[in-house]
Structure formats: structure tokens, C-alpha cells
Amino acid sequence: MNELPGLVIALCVGMALGTFFFGGLWWTLRRAVSSPYAALWMFASMLVRTGIVCAGLLWVCGPDWQRWLAGVLGFLVARLIATRIAPAPVLTATMTRESRHAP
């Protein structure tokens, strides 16, 4: 039972990293929409977010597969929560018109 605290810590860190990752994605999308350098925003954000999540999981989980499982489970829980509470995208009249012309 002495492995339980490590698993709980890995689960909590996975949730925190997931919150950081998907919160950063939300923030990036909001910035990229109005930026002339949207592709640069998306690429740089993806590199930073992925690097921080991988480094954080590697630091907390180490070589223990059970901690990795708990960390990834925490990350997925954060994803599920983020997709449930994220506001729905607002469609403007321009977006609606353009979607009718899509093949």
C-alpha cells in the first residue's frame, strides 16, 4: 500500500498538466484567431505545451508504469472536464455563409 501516495500524486499532476495543456490550447486559439501569424502561434504553443506536459510526466512518473498510467488517466480526466465546461463556439454570420460553400 505504500505505492498509493505516488499514484495519487501522479494522478493529480496528470490532471494539473491536462488543465495546463487544454487551457493553453483554449488561450492559443483565442489569440490565433485575431493574429496575422496564426500558424506560428499554433506551432509554438503546441511545442511549449507538449514539452511541458512530457517533462512534467517524466519527472513525476519516472520509470514506474503504474504512475504513468495514473498520470495519463489524470490527463484524460482533465480533457473530459475541459470539453464539458468549454464554451461552445460562437458562429458569426460570415462563418455561417462560408460553411454553406464548403465542398
Per-domain boundaries in the chain: 4-100
Inter-residue contact 11 to 71 (CB < 8 Å): yes
Residue 31 is predicted with a pLDDT of: 87
**What percent of the chain is predicted at pLDDT more than 90?**
61
CB atoms within 10 A of CB 25: 16
What SS3 string covers 31-66?
Answer: HHHCCCCHHHHHHHHHHHHHHHHHHHHHHHHCCCHH
Average pLDDT (79-87) is: 87
- Rounded CA separation 83/85 (Å): 6
Look at residue 67 and tell me whether its pLDDT is greater than 80.
Answer: yes
Look at residue 88 and tell me whether its pLDDT is greater than 80.
Answer: no
| pTM higher than 0.85 | no
